Amino acid sequence: MTFVQLIECRTSRLDEMNRLMDDWVAQTRGKRTATHALVGKDRSDASHIVEVVEFPSYEEAMRNSNLPETDKIFQGMVALCEEMPTFIDLDVVRDERLAEDTVRRFLDALMTPGELPPLNDLLDEDIHSHDPMNPQDTLGLDNFRAEVRMWRDAFDFAFTVEDVFTQGDEACARWTWNATHKGDFLGIAPTGKQVAMTGMTVFRFTDHGKIAETWWQHDTLELMRQLGALDELEQ
């Protein structure tokens, strides 16, 4: 179970504390077990500092605490604080990764049977899509839907999401695409072939959580080979 430690302290020496934390990161490289650390300053009280540190489990957090470097840094932290820091130990019972959920819902929507969903609950009206297959970027929700319909008219397809990574207002999905070629695609008549393609998509989100921009990277050359479009070139 994911474990989070909440550390609160009061200090007017935040710059020195940041340098202390930088030292701890350098000294424990390859040994520390924390996976994510975040430091916040109270907007209503600049001396009130809160640090949130995430670990894979309570046991890993204890292993991290027992490092000699951690104890040394803690003593330095106490010296910089106006009072003894407080610690709150939290077992994570709910963890919602909203950007990841939006990415998965978006890829699910693209392969929905029947009529293409409007996508306006997932995409910004001014969506900007970059795809190396297209000579120009796709701008706006209507043009994006038209691009998706082109793919849907040419293939019955499904995405398998392998990984989703998120950071700040961006996310990256690594996926596998499996399809049946059922309609014209770039001048290639329907072949009925089963084809597959791997790729990645980077997403940028608006402040309201909708997808504002996408960057697609996919193995189009392999797709064209499977469709037989490269046969003459390979002979």
Pairing of strands 211-218, 123-130: parallel
Instruction: Return the CATH number of the domain spanning residue range 98-234.
Output: 3.10.450.50
Dihedral sign (CA 13, 16, 18, 23): negative
pLDDT of residue 70: 85
Q: How many CB atoms lie within 10 A of CB 9?
A: 20
Burial of 161 (0-12, 13-18, 19+ CB in 10 A): middle
pLDDT of residue 95: 82
DSSP 8-state class, residue 122: T
Q: What is the pTM of this model?
A: 0.76
pLDDT tens readout for residues 157-216: 999 999 999 988 999 999 999 999 999 999 999 999 999 999 999 999 999 999 999 999
Q: Do 201 and 213 contact (CB within 8 A), yes or no?
A: no
Average pLDDT, the chain: 92
Give me the residue spans of the domains in the chain. Answer: 3-91, 98-234
Write the DSSP assignment of 141-193 as a string of letters.
HHHHHHHHHHHHHHEEEEEEEEEEEEETTEEEEEEEEEEEE-S-BTTBPP---
Task: Please name the residue that has the structure tokens 């009925």.
Answer: 192
Evaluate if residue 235 carries a pLDDT over 60.
Answer: no
pLDDT tens readout for residues 27-50: 888 888 888 889 999 999 999 999
pLDDT of residue 157: 97
Please state which CATH class domain 3-91 belongs to: alpha beta
